[in-house]
Structures are given as structure tokens and as C-alpha cells.
Structure 1
């Protein structure tokens, strides 16, 4: 069943799961996937926690204790989510140690309402790192304009970071620059660079969803021929940018100090259009030194019928550029699309966070003792 996942791992792609819940940890399912499916990491986001906690299973006792203490809803949410991340990090600790800190990581995101506030994002990242208190944690910071200096500052403090919500090639280059600047700050502060890890989460399927919608509205054969090509082209050109940055003299100087590359992470790899193969964003994004974080359904699909045929990225740069150029010629503005997707991404996570706060507050009120 897991042969395709093994081949994927053998090609240098770290397999992470984009999901987490308390019952997933306590049932032993996380540990089982590590054994059977080559799983070496976990990512979370506000939407994932909202679904897990609003489902209720596994959280009743902690919610009851928090209600008795009459904590604020913000404190309750942070106590619950950091507990899950801490427990998952403990399960993944053997992978962390076996890979010298490269994998075995669990990501937790700063409050999405802080996405446009640099100083608050830094403060939140420091607080989360302290609360979880596990070396195999990654703090997720969105790649907004305000997020870029926050990334530099947090990396400079020696805190490992998962940069999230990257859609554009220009922003991705800015993210890599922010990472290198952070490493330089950490070096100047005398920190051990080998202990700092980072991934850059480049979102995939949402690009096709938005551009395909526009192509369908044109109703031409030329437009139809470009359906399903934008996301892969965008990701492949991102990998080209990664290769260029990490072949630079600037990077070489940091590497001599023991620094780790910031790996590209393919996020949003669940296929949303049923016309496409459900393993599309895994099969077609195989490249060494990358991470693919998948929802459960995609992980299972790859195990059952994934077609891992080797590197499907590095030979496709010319065609990728041609595909994006063809979209521009049809009047689809790349810059406008990626800007829209970033704004929507932040808004969706803010809504999920608000929903999480509201559902948690309702539970705290229900369980609170009478005055």
C-alpha cells in the first residue's frame, strides 16, 4: 500500500500530514502513520484546530477545567492547541532525533489576526515557542508584507519557522531573503545556526482554483487548454528560485557556519477539482529537498495509486514559464491573482480563528459552574 509513499520519500520528499486532533494522537494513529506511511511531520492551521475542537472529542476534560478556572477564551484556545502540538511533537521526537532536527516537526500558527502587525507577530511567535517548549516545533508566520520582517526577527532569535501563505514568486524570493537575513542576525548574536530550521509553504491548489475559474469564464479552446497548469507552473518556478538562492555566495557563507536550507513545502495539495487526478499535486511536484504536506485523503490516495516516477520539477522550468506567459496573454494577471489569494488566505484563517473562539467560548459558558 505504501510503496508509492516510500518512493516519494526516497526521492527526497519529506511526507508531512496537514491535520491534527487530540484523538488522532491518543488513538495511536499518528504513530501508526509514522510506521506505515513514512510520515515525518505535521502541519496545523486555524481551520484544522477549529474543526478538531468544535468536534468536541478528546477536549471535554480540559475544557471543563478551563471553565472552572474562568480563563479567557483566548487563553483557553492557546492552552488547548499548544497541548495538542506538544503531544504530537513528543510522538514525532524519534524522527526529529534520527534526522538531526530536519524532520519530526509540528507547526503551529500565530494568531491570524496579527498577520499585518510585525511586532505583535514576533511577540506571539516567542510566546508560542515558550508555551509548546519543544525543540521540534515550527512557528508558522504568514508571508504578508508585515510578516517578512517578523520572519527575520524570529529566525534571528533562534526560533524555527514555517512561513505560510506564499502564493507569488516575488514574495517567495522575499521570504528566502528574510530567512537569510534572520540567519545572519542569529550568527551575529552567536547562536548555533545548525539548530535553526525553516520551511517555506508555497500554496498550490488554490492557484488552479482561481485561475481555472477565470479560464472557464472565457469559454474558448485556448483557455480550456491551460486549465490545471498554473499551479504546477508556479510551484516549479518557485523551486527554480530556491535553487538559485541556495547556490549564492551569500548562502554559502551561512552554510559554512552550519546553517540549514529553508526547504520549499508544497501546501494546499489536496485536489479541489474532481476533473483532476487526486494525487496531481504530489505526483507532479517531486523534487529533492522538498516537503509535501497532505490532508488525510491525499495521503491515502498516494499510498493507493500515486505515480511517483522521479523528479517532475527541475526539467520543467521552460514550459512552466511558457504556461504563465500564456495566461498573461489571455488577460489573466498573475500579480492580481496572487495578491487576491494572499488576501483571501488571511481572511479565511481569520474567520476560522473567530469561529474557533466562538465555539470554544460557548463550551466554556456551558461548562462554567454557577456563580
Structure 2
């Protein structure tokens, strides 16, 4: 699966007016090959005036139903715009839509919502986005078995990456046995490896320990990238959380440093625009396994427990998405 698949750039933003203008132009120009969304992105988007008329028409309905009506209209439009890319190459051309983050520990509820949302949207190039919790990983496996593309999100650790890949492998093996289908016919998946949150969490400690800053997220992402590739499944590593917040880093830093074949980088608009201005970019250096081991040994010697940090970041990510979802529903009341 990993052979001859190049780097892809996706857009980590969705909003109604943006879809019809800049987004459409970037897709038609093949500047981007896909897109992602999450509750925090929709929380920002739904404050815009372009949604007001539809909001008024939905008054009186259940708040979650209102949100889904608004969001699904955007997801459908993004899927429609991206469809030609998907039809040319089923490794790209997707838009991701996240299930209710409050279902993160409910596998049955996640499965039911994932199937319902995928059917409601009605496009084949939609990935149902599910947090990579224990319950979420169970749900992902079932969605793949149902033929639904999956985005495993909030992946920070080796354990999460392996658990996701083992679950996907099990589902693909069952599909092959059940339907006698070829690998190229399998529903696609991505593993969303979160990057910059590691650096925002640990950079002050790194500075005090005289370790190069803004490196932990990169090295961890490269380590997980290698794990995903080794499985040779129709699953791609997707680098997420690649925006720069404060500091001296240029906006496209996390795109350039993770510009690896077979990978996807989903980036916010500022990072995308900065990267596009570069015109030509060489593949980033990918450290050997030994180099990565030496790096993580240095981190451990600095008394940083990367596994504990990863667990903390996962919990924080889950809480952030739940809070964004809560605020969306409050705003619709």
C-alpha cells in the first residue's frame, strides 16, 4: 500500500463561505488534496453570519440535531468539491467529520453514530473521525467492516498507534476473508498523529535542560509514521495539530519538517498559506530507528516521561473537544 504514494496536503479548516471560495480554488488547483474538521473548528465557523438563515429555520429542534444539520451541509459540500480527487485516487480527496466527542468511551454509541452520520452525508469520500480511546478503537474496527472510511484521531503514543493498526489489520483480514476483495478495494483510514501539542507542553522543560525546542512533536510523529508504514495497509499517517502558536517558528515549520512520502499533513490556513509560498520543498530528513532511540533516551534522561505526557495530552484533547461541542450546543439554544 505504501508504494508510490506521495505526500498529501489537507486543509484543517471548514466554513461555508470559505468552501465556495478559497477552498474550492485550492482543490481545483490541486494545492490541497483533502480536508479535516473537528468540534473546535465548527465552534469557530458557526458564529459566522452565513449560517444564520439556516439556524433560524431549524429553531425548536433538538440542539444536537441543529448542529448536525448545519455541519452536515458543510461536510456534504466539501465532499462534493473533493470528489474528483477521490475518484482519481482513493488515497486522497476525503473530508473528515467527527462523532460526538462525548461518545469517546462508548463503543456501541460510537458505532451507531458513525454509521448514521456516514449514511446521512451520503458521499463515499467522507471519513468518520473517532478518538483513539479503547472504546473508539473498537468502533473503528466495526466501521471499517461496514465499509466506512475512518480517521483515528488524537493519537499521541506508540500504544495508540499499534492498537489502531492491529484493529484495522483485523478488520481488513476479515473483509478479505468475507468478501474476497483486493487490498485496493478496502475502505481507507488515517491515523491522526498530533504533533505541536507535545512541544507546547514540554518546550519550557526542554529549554531548561538545554534540549533543542520544537523537536519532541516531530520526533514522536516520525516514530509513529514508521510504525504505520510497516503494516503495509491502506492506512496513512496523518500529521495533525501542525499549527504554530506563538514563539519564533515560521507558520509552515511542522509541514516542512514532516514532509515525508506516504504521509498527510492537515494544516490550518496560516500554515497552508506559508507553505504554499515556498513553491518547491524537498523531502524532510527521516531519522533512522537508532537516531530516534538516541533522541528518546536523551528525553528520558531529562526526566521527561513521554508516555505520561502522551496520556495527559490525550485526556486534554478529549476535554477540549467536549468543551467545544458543549459551547456549540449552547450557542444554538
TM class, shorter-length? over 0.9
Q: Does 1:224 align with 2:210?
A: yes
Distance 1:18 1:150, change over 3 A: same
- 1:16 pairs with one of 10, 15, 23: 10
**Partner of residue 42, structure 1:** 35
Deviation at 1:284, TM superposition (A): 1.2
Distance 1:65 1:111, change over 3 A: same
Once residues 185 and 96 of structure 1 are traced to their aligned partners in structure 2, the CA distance between those partners, rounded to angstroms, is: 25
**Partner of residue 94, structure 1:** 84
**Partner of residue 262, structure 1:** 235
CA-to-aligned-CA distance 1:68-107 (integer Å, 9 cap, x gap): xx211110001111111001101111111111x2211110
- 1:25 pairs with one of 19, 26, 32: 19
**Partner of residue 7, structure 1:** none
Q: Does 1:347 align with 2:319?
A: yes
Once residues 316 and 271 of structure 1 are traced to their aligned partners in structure 2, the CA distance between those partners, rounded to angstroms, is: 26
Distance 1:345 1:212, change over 3 A: same
User: Residue 236 of structure 1 contacts residue 317 of structure 1 at CA under 8 Å; is this kept in 2?
Assistant: no
- 2:56 pairs with one of 57, 64, 73: 64
Deviation at 1:311, TM superposition (A): 4.1
CA-to-aligned-CA distance 1:104-157 (integer Å, 9 cap, x gap): 111000100000111111111011101111011000011011111111111111
CA-to-aligned-CA distance 1:214-273 (integer Å, 9 cap, x gap): 334xx3xxx132322211110111122123222xxxxxxxxxxxxx52000000111224
Q: Post-superposition, which runs of at least 4 consecutive aligned residues in structure 1 deviate over 4 A?
A: none
**Partner of residue 205, structure 1:** 196
- 1:98-247 matches, cutoff 5 A: 98-99=88-89, 101-190=90-179, 192=181, 194-216=185-207, 219=208, 223-246=209-232
**Partner of residue 252, structure 1:** none
Deviation at 1:307, TM superposition (A): 6.7
Once residues 230 and 36 of structure 1 are traced to their aligned partners in structure 2, the CA distance between those partners, rounded to angstroms, is: 34
Deviation at 1:37, TM superposition (A): 5.5
Deviation at 1:306, TM superposition (A): 7.1
User: Residue 229 of structure 2 contacts residue 236 of structure 2 at CA under 8 Å; is this kept in 1?
Assistant: no
Once residues 221 and 146 of structure 2 are traced to their aligned partners in structure 1, the CA distance between those partners, rounded to angstroms, is: 29
Please report the RMSD computed on the Cα atoms of aligned residues, expressed in angstroms.
1.8
Once residues 280 and 298 of structure 2 are traced to their aligned partners in structure 1, the CA distance between those partners, rounded to angstroms, is: 28
TM-score (norm: length of structure 2) = 0.93
- 2:244 pairs with one of 256, 271, 284: 271
SS at match of 2:46: helix
User: Residue 156 of structure 1 contacts residue 184 of structure 1 at CA under 8 Å; is this kept in 2?
Assistant: no
Once residues 275 and 325 of structure 1 are traced to their aligned partners in structure 2, the CA distance between those partners, rounded to angstroms, is: 26
* The structure with more radius of gyration: 1
**Partner of residue 282, structure 1:** 255
